[in-house]
Chains A and B, each alone.
Chain A
Amino acid sequence: MTDTTDSKHTGFSLGSSPHIFSHTDMKETMRGTAIAFLPVIGASIYFFRLHAAVLITTCIITCIFTEALCQLARRRPVTVDDWSAVVTGCSLALILPPTLPLSAAIIGSVFAIVVGKQIFGGLGHNIFNPSLLARAFLMANYPRWLTTWVEPLKPDAVSSATPLALAKFQHEFAALKDLFFGNVSGSLGETSAFCVLLGGIYLFYKKYGDWRIPGSILSTVFVYSGILWVINPACPSPIFHLLAGGLMYGAVFQASDPVTSPVSAKGKIIFGIGIGLILVTIRIWGGLTEGVMYAILFMNALTPLIDRITIPRRFGARQSPT
């Protein structure tokens, strides 16, 4: 080319479009998810005091360290600053019983990161939700510890049964108000449906999570358990199902984990319906009192399949088949 009027301005950056980007990046999404956990963390510390605080801190710290060590061992860049290990730590701690020995919590956290995430290639590549996988692992190894519950606000008292167990085996139903605000025994995070909802509203309002997954899970549970309740009023009511156990927590924080759920809108809804159906089936007919964990893990396994059958329709293909 001939001359340049502005020869001092050279080295402009070249690159293909687009040249502008949305404000929300992955790190912010993960940090936002961690923030959404705060109401639940607050409630669990209120109800279970020191037990909760120590357990949550242990899980988070163990997760961060394990992730960093794994990445160093794999000679990959250490990316613990992306908050995803913090999210895994919170997510795991809050589905553990308050009195769980710390050694089990540490083993669970290491398992969540190593087997749940890093073995598959790190963030974005895992098939199962790491925290649920770790809980399933702990459940298999320490069944007694994982099913020992204490009453809230009296953390040193003797063990008590969860509302779902009471409903299933003794046909006693906890007061809905207690279920909603959390004055019942259970895992750290599953006690207060209200605080989970609070975190969920933040998560979905800021678009850090996808509301379609919890939306379809909760509506499926409501409809399915509602039908069963109408047929046989001895079954727990749909409202009870929604508020009791880990459903609300699992739907908002674990099923909506983007990595282990389908990518398309249609896939997300199918995924949610599947979880809802399996969950209520386990709760009513299964040997276990609670089915959130297995329902989500099972649908996690089906996610690649759902992704394959829900490829969005091709624009204009209906009018002009090729």
Chain B
Amino acid sequence: MAIKSYPIGIHPDEHKSFSMKEGLLELPCPERVIVPLSQHIGRPAVPVVQTGETVKVGTLLASAADGVSAAVHSSLSGKITKIGSFSHPVLGAAPAVEITADGTDQQESLITRDAMTLSRDELLAIIRDAGIVGLGGAGFPTQIKLQPPRENTIDAFILNAVECEPYLTCDHTLMKNHAKQLVVATELIMKILGAKRGYIAVEANKMDAVGLFKEHLIGRRVQRLYADQSRLSIEILKVQYPHGAEKQLIKTVFGREVGPGKLPKDVGCIVDNVGTAFAVYEAATAGKPLYERIITVSGSGVARPCNVKARIGTLFSHVVDCCGGMQGDVKKIIMGGPLMGITQPGLDVPVIKGTTGILLFTEKETRFFERRPCIRCGRCLDVCPMFLSPTDIARFSEANDMERLRSYYPEDCIECGNCSYICPSRIPLVQLIRLGKQKVCKQADMAKND
């Protein structure tokens, strides 16, 4: 099978084998969870419960607000002890619901149904009610993504099984355990979108998952579930970062470029992460809301790196304790991957829907670098997947040269971090570009208000 590849990218040390040694670990029930009302892009969910109420696993805690928003469910059976401000891994602090366990671990009743017989509208309602958002990290409410405006015809759906960030293996673990369900989920999403083509995009370092996908695809072909045999195919991508970035993935797999300020739907394509697809499967077949996910716990600062199934709202400290606790002198805590993850001030933050991993880095992974002058070697241009000139954007951003800054399009940057990764002078390029982006946006806003 031909291996596809985007023309530009980097290949850092993968460090994926650490967390793949053991299978999937089910975490023991935590004593309490903190479920933030904002785990998605858009407006926070509106609480429908009150302090003192008892809830079961899967009880609706807060329903979606108007516009872009998503519902939030309980992940623990117990009593609501507080609704207020708690620390949040992305927002710093945000409103959340605290639940203290009663030890019974009662669940809201689940059902069994044949999801393939459900209509598009029924499926969308199920996805909305289950509070499903993009689990790759961005957290965009899925039912909104799957209902593009009528003028956008969707030709293709891509299941993002790339997982290009080093260290992270949560998607890989999910694929190894649930390849069959993911194939069904892909078909369900294609049905919702009316997409004629489906692609499962996997990086070449997960060939075992490719094998499983193939097996199930063949199985379903034998059962004559396809009208057209070429509808759903597997695409193998070279191991390269950022292959899983939406725009790069669409270009690599589908050959279309999502222009500046445009969304995938504008080129007739929708991309969803495997975690999201699995949540869609569980909601559609069993009516299970999104209250747990697989996360990778890795880095040299954790005693037993592995993948765990964690309830949303579980504190990082509980997750790490269940993985043998910290080891060595941990210098940095990261939620997400090493290239785009967010550092945390401590372990008292909750797992949210977009938590792909918890990385604990010790001294050897957090070297301090002295910034040196730019020698204009141009390596940042060679690795920028958006074909930008990071060194120039950073320079003009730092110098506040707004006119020239704008002419280099900082707003196109997807913040993958390749430029900062490669820079031999260790200039914080992506950080300066972020700053430049904000400056350009602020100026545009001011111009609008005038």
Contact = CB atoms under 8 A, between A and B. Distances in A.
Interface residues of B, number: 78
B315 interface: yes
Contacts of B93: 1
Contact of B424 (A20, A29, A79, A268): A29
Contacts, number: 190
A259 B372 CA distance: 13
A1 B91 CA distance: 14
B27 interface: no
A5 B262 contact: no
Interface string A27-43: 11100000000000000
A311 B391 contact: no
B259 interface: yes
A1 B330 contact: no
B256 A319 contact: yes
Interface in B176-226: none
B334 A312 contact: no
Given A17-B342, A319-B259, A322-B261, A313 B424 contact: no
A315 B388 CA distance: 8
A25 B374 contact: no
B346 A4 contact: yes
Contacts of A26: 372, 375, 424-426
Interface stretch (B17-25, B40-48, B414-422): B414-422
Nearest to B427: A26
A321 B260 CA distance: 8
Given A25-B425, A314-B260, A263 B434 contact: no
A259 B87 contact: no
A2 interface: yes
Nearest to A123: B373
Interface string B307-341: 00000000101100100001000111110101111
Nearest to A262: B378
A210 B377 CA distance: 8
B118 to A, nearest CB: 35
B347 A4 contact: yes
A318 interface: yes
B339 A18 contact: yes
A263 B378 CA distance: 4
A18 B338 contact: yes
| Majority secondary structure, A binding face | loop
Given A264-B378, A316-B258, A19 B343 contact: yes
B361 A322 contact: no
B130 to A, nearest CB: 29
Contacts of B376: 124, 258-259, 261, 263
A187 B74 CA distance: 78
Interface stretch (B62-70, B229-237, B363-371): B363-371
Interface in A92-145: 122-125
B343 A12 contact: yes
A196 B419 CA distance: 31
Nearest to B428: A16
B148 interface: no
Nearest to B346: A4
Contact of A5 (B317, B345, B422): B317
B148 to A, nearest CB: 16
B424 A19 contact: no
A5 B361 contact: no
A75 interface: no
A264 B378 CA distance: 6
Contacts of B385: 315
A20 B345 contact: no
Contact of A315 (B326, B361, B386, B422): B386
Given A259-B376, A263-B381, A21 B369 contact: yes
29 contacts: A1-B87, A1-B348, A4-B348, A5-B317, A5-B321, A12-B344, A13-B332, A14-B343, A14-B345, A16-B343, A16-B430, A17-B334, A17-B342, A18-B340, A19-B365, A21-B367, A22-B421, A26-B375, A29-B424, A82-B372, A258-B378, A259-B375, A263-B376, A263-B377, A265-B381, A316-B257, A316-B262, A319-B259, A322-B260
- What are the 5 tightest A-B residue pairs by CB atom distance, in nearest-first order? A320-B259, A18-B417, A316-B259, A263-B378, A124-B373
Interface of B: 10, 12-13, 86-87, 93, 166, 247, 256-262, 266-267, 315, 317-318, 321, 326, 330-334, 336, 338-348, 359, 361, 365-367, 369, 372-378, 381-382, 384-389, 391-392, 407-409, 412, 415, 417, 420-422, 424-426, 428, 430-431, 434
